[in-house]
Amino acid sequence: LNRSSDISLSPLKQLNDLDIQTLYPLNEIDLINLFSNSLAHLEKLALPRNT
């Protein structure tokens, strides 16, 4: 399956980019920041709209 189009449109493309660490090596702090930002974004999306 060619999922290149799906990956390019994915809002979590940064997570998919972790597969190409040879082109863009990430250290531990980069990974922590990446996942923290992603979790914070998902938490915002999960908040009820009638706050």
- List CB contacts of 12: < 8 A, sequence separation 6 or more: 38
| Tokens read off for 26 | 């990430």
pLDDT of residue 45: 80
> Coil, strand, or helix at residue 50?
coil
| Tokens read off for 4 | 């290149």
pLDDT of residue 51: 58
Of 33, 41, 32, 47, the residue nearest 12 (C-alpha):
41
Render each residue's pLDDT in the chain as its tens digit; 51 residues: 455 545 455 556 665 555 655 555 667 888 788 888 888 888 888 777 765
pLDDT of residue 39: 85
The pTM for the full model equals 0.34
Provide the residue ranges of all domains of the chain, joining segments of one domain with +: 4-46
pLDDT of residue 11: 55
Tell me the C-alpha distance between 48 and 40, whole Å.
Answer: 15
